[in-house]
Structure 1
Amino acid sequence: MVALQFPFTLFRTQKWMDDYGARDMRCGDLTEEQLKMDYHLIDISARVNPYTLTKITPFHQPQSMFYGSRGVGEKITPQVCAGILFDEFRHLSQFFSVYGPYRHLIGQMITHMQNGNGSPFSSMLLDRALKEHIVNDRTENSTFARLKEVISKNIDWDNKYYPVSEKGGLKRAITDSKLPKFDRFKDNFNGMGITVHDTWATYITIKSLKINSNHYRGMVNYKVQDHFGLDVDDISKLRFNQLRFFRIWFVLQRYNRFGFKPFMTNMEATIEVTGYR
């Protein structure tokens, strides 16, 4: 029998890291006509009209039959218009991020889209959220629980190593389980559903595995990447298209007058895994 050597790359999604050719990473590629005709993006903002570059202001004459409705205000530059759209974008994000330690992440990520020029985004809070999700996942198809089960079952306790012949069991433990995603009910309100939700690429590596006569201790590294960007399939869905938050996001990213770059969201967690004979 031969011992499995560590670090051991346990799992990689078919989608790869740093895929800047992905559809949701496009920017500045759509015209006003395309946005209106193909995606029905007419009413974008309650504050500005990005197509005419004018502010939207209320009529101030109480006697007017149009009092309280929106009218056309002063002309503005594309830069000023984008700034107002980003402020509205941040304001609307509050409805998806009501409570908890991660509620401010979406505001930080919107600001990063505004100023980061497409550079990757990482945060200790994102890493913490990933680690908490993995460790606290009590479902039957948790990657972490399945991995612990397989390691305990297949260790050669007499020789104190994990046999290379059983590495297929480790890989199946991951492929047969659900990867960590922020699609739980609570993620709709704690800020993680709107910042990450689904994920693009996941790499899982067993960094080390120490075995004694009746106990093992290992370190497992999760690297997860998502894209903070929208593709045309996203905005074509009614649940996205009907919300001003996503209409503003799509226009800031894809309208050729703005073209703000989407970016990679990077998360990483190294977790201790232990068990007994």
Structure 2
Amino acid sequence: MTRTRIVGGKLIETTGGDYNIYTKENIVYSAATTITETGVETGVSYGDPQSPPARNEYFVKGWWSLDIEGNKVITNALPSMLVYFHLETKNIDNGNSILITLYEEDNSEPEETSNQDDKITLINSATRIETIDSKVNNNKVVIPLELSKLDNFIEDEVDKVLELYFKCTYLNESAKFPSAVDDYLKVGQIIADRYKIPGLNENGSDIASDLCYGFGVKDPLPIYPTNTVTTYKSEYENSGFIENVHNLFINKSNESHKALYSKEECYSTKYTLTTIPLIDLDINIATGLDVRVFDTLSDETLFWDFQATASLYFARGVLQGNLERMIAKFKANEGGIYEDEVLTEAIKNSTVTQKYCVDVEKYLSEKIKGNILSLDKLEDKTPYLGSFQKIRDDRSQKNKNFSRPIYNENKTEGLTIALNDIWATQVLIKELKNTGNNYTCKYEVILWDHFGLDLPDMEKVFNIIPSVGETFVTWFILQHLRGYKPFVTKIKFEKEFNGTF
């Protein structure tokens, strides 16, 4: 077939995207004056001819959905979900088979070094044989897919998110569906909440004061260079805490001191008894005097006193052993992260934790119910920073009526001295198993705290109680006048709850 177009004046063609021409023979341009070809970025390029795109004789479109009917279209899912892939065909008789292969797309991700998409083998649950074809019924193919056993694939991804599509082949025609990358099914765990950042102060601008240590000589501020903090905050938001990358912020690096306080400031701490009735007078009790007196003792004597008084007044039973292990790590002067199975189990069973998890689950269930077709809206990975009031206001705008657990109810049990006020938290949605309108959600909680003291800790009431105050005086001296490194405590556990869409 020949097509001739004759135009008496100018011919202008405008397209919003690419303009591709394919021909089996020649392309000829003739002009009485000039032929001009320009490109804004790379100019004009020449290369080998490309094959024209295949004509869709058999395939129409493909998409992912939450329902077998294909009406609840989705582009995001959580591991363990049951989802459906729909392929609409034409000109294919009922009962004929289409070759199908599930792939994870890598080519469009700039951070990936591989140019090869990963094949994901589908196994028939009844026959235990790889599923490679699916039969057409009324020009439609529906493939149910349970998103399980994908952990290794997810872990290998830089962004920890899979982007799934099917390669479909029938006779001489092959195509990827969904056809647009944006419509591929993105599968991954979802960060639902982050409260502050481990190792940084409440504003996220420098070191947390209770992680400082030194020999009574103040270091110039800031302790951490601004660009170093900025990089850490960005990496934490995108990938979470990475121990071998973020060692600086858990005192596991080689720095010998990160001092906020001078010896004079340590010697001048006081507890203020505010306004005695009928006298209208504040009375200051010098806790720094004890710091000055005990600072004459050796490190070994201070550690002996620290452990003896801490165990006597602040820990019982199995948690006494945990406290002894924490003090031993402090004495080793190694910084880093402390994790302990006994402590984690005690935290999981604590009524404080249970109340915190109830509030978390209430929030998650409401978010899941309202966004089941757009699960990406559950993501809230930017840490909440600032003053207590600012954080509370920011979180209330997102209906987050929880922040972090505080373990100060039973001060002699062992959790108060080990943790007290949790510094930072993370809530990660790991799995969602759905059956009809019901689901089971598995989520992970990480609690971060700093095993260290700052100067305001020496201005609290327990410092003026005879013998009891020695726990904190000796601890404070060892950290801020003898240079022993505080460390970061990490508690990680999983929970499940049931809900309905």
Structure 2 length normalisation: TM-score? Answer: 0.42
Deviations 1:22-78 (A, max 9, x none): 111111142544432355423349xxx55444xxxxxxxxxxxxxxxxxxxxxxxxx
Q: 2:433 aligns with which of 195, 207, 210?
A: 210
Q: Which residue of 2 aligns with 1:7?
A: 189
SS at match of 1:28: coil
1:110, 1:85 → 2: CA distance? 12
Deviation at 1:21, TM superposition (A): 1.7
Q: Deviations over 1:199-245 (max 9, x none)?
A: 11111110111211143122101111100111112213343465121
Residue in structure 2 matched with residue 259 of structure 1 by the alignment: 483
Q: Give the whole-Å Cα distance in 2 for the aligned partners of 1:249 and 1:119.
A: 18
Higher relative contact order (CA 8 A, sep 6+): 1
Q: What is the aligned partner in structure 1 of residue 445 from structure 2?
A: 222
Q: Which amino acid aligns with 1:266?
A: K
The structure that is helix-richer by fraction is 1
Match for residue 177 of structure 1 among 377, 394, 401: 401
Matched-pair contact (CA < 8 Å) for 2:76–2:375: yes
Distance 2:320 2:444 in 1: 25
> What secondary structure does 2:198 align onto?
coil
CA distance in 1, matches of 2:397, 2:365: 9
Query: How far apart, in 1, do the equivalents of 2:352 and 2:443 lie?
Result: 11
Residue 192 of structure 1 aligns with which residue? 415
Superposed CA RMSD: 3.3
Q: Return the letter of the residue paired with 1:246.
A: F
Give 1:174 deviation, angstroms: 8.2
Q: What corresponds to 1:164 in structure 2?
A: 375
Structure 1 residue ranges (4+ consecutive) displaced by more than 6 angstroms after TM superposition: 171-174
Q: Within 2, Cα distance between the matches of 1:107 and 1:271?
A: 28
Task: Identify the residue that residue 290 of structure 2 maps to in structure 1.
Answer: 43
CA contact (8 A) 2:199 2:208 kept: no
Contact 1:98–1:191 (CA<8 Å) still a contact in 2? yes
The CA distance in 2 between the partners of 1:123 and 1:194, in whole Å, is 15
Counterparts in 2 of 1:129-168, with a 5 A limit?
A: 129-133=346-350, 137-138=354-355, 142-148=359-365, 150-151=367-368, 153-154=369-370, 162-164=373-375, 167=378
The match for 1:27 among 210, 213, 221 is 213
Q: CA deviation at 1:137?
A: 2.2
2:331 and 2:422 map into 1 onto residues whose CA distance is 22
SS at structure 1 position matched to 2:267: helix
For 1:135 and 1:236, the matched residues in 2 are separated by 26
The one-letter code of the counterpart of 2:340 is: S
**Which amino acid in structure 1 is aligned with residue 303 of structure 2?**
F
Do the aligned residues in 2 keep the contact of 1:235 with 1:241 (CA within 8 Å)?
no
Q: 1:118 to 1:129 in 2, by over 3 A?
A: same
Q: Give the alignment's TM-score, normalised by structure 1.
A: 0.72
Instruction: Tell me if the contact between 2:356 and 2:404 (Cα under 8 Å) persists in the aligned partners.
Output: no
Is residue 109 from structure 1 mapped to residue 181 from structure 2 by the alignment? no
**Among 329, 337, 340, the residue aligned to 1:120:** 337
Residues 1:97 and 2:331 aligned together: no
Matches of 2:456 and 2:352 in 1, distance apart?
Answer: 33
* In 1, Cα distance between equivalents of 2:399 and 2:343: 24
On the 8 A contact 2:348/2:354 being kept in 1, the answer is no
CA offset at residue 133 of structure 1?
Answer: 3.6
3-state SS in 2 of match to 1:220: strand
Q: Is the 8 A contact 2:449 2:489 kept in 1?
A: yes
Contact 1:142-1:177 at 8 Å conserved across structures: yes
1:131, 1:271 within 8 Å by CA — same for their partners in 2? no
CA contact (8 A) 2:310 2:471 kept: yes
Mark the runs of 5 or more structure 1 residues left unpaired by the alignment.
54-80, 157-161
| CA gap 1:23/1:136 in 2 versus in 1, 3 angstroms | closer
Task: Supply the distance in 1 between the matched residues of 2:434 and 2:352 (Cα, whole angstroms).
Answer: 21
Shift of 1:254: 0.2
* Residues 114 and 43 of structure 1: CA distance in aligned 2, closer, same or farther (over 3 Å): same
Distance 1:165 1:144, change over 3 A: closer
Deviation at 1:194, TM superposition (A): 0.8
Question: 1:97 is aligned with what amino acid?
Answer: A
Conserved? CA contact 1:120–1:266, under 8 Å: yes
- Does the 8 Å CA contact 1:127/1:267 hold for their aligned counterparts? yes
- Paired residues of 1:143 and 1:178 also in contact (CA < 8 A): yes
Instruction: Indicate the structure (1 or 2) with the bigger Cα radius of gyration.
Output: 2
Q: Deviations over 1:128-178 (max 9, x none)?
A: 233334896247962234434554x4375xxxxx53376389x87986233
Partners of 1:205 and 1:219 in 2: CA distance: 9
Give secondary structure in 1 for the equivalent of 2:343: helix
2: CA distance between counterparts of 1:208 and 1:271?
11
- Determine the C-alpha separation between the residues in 2 that align with 1:32 and 1:234: 16
**How much does 1:119 deviate?**
2.3
Length, aligned pairs only:
236
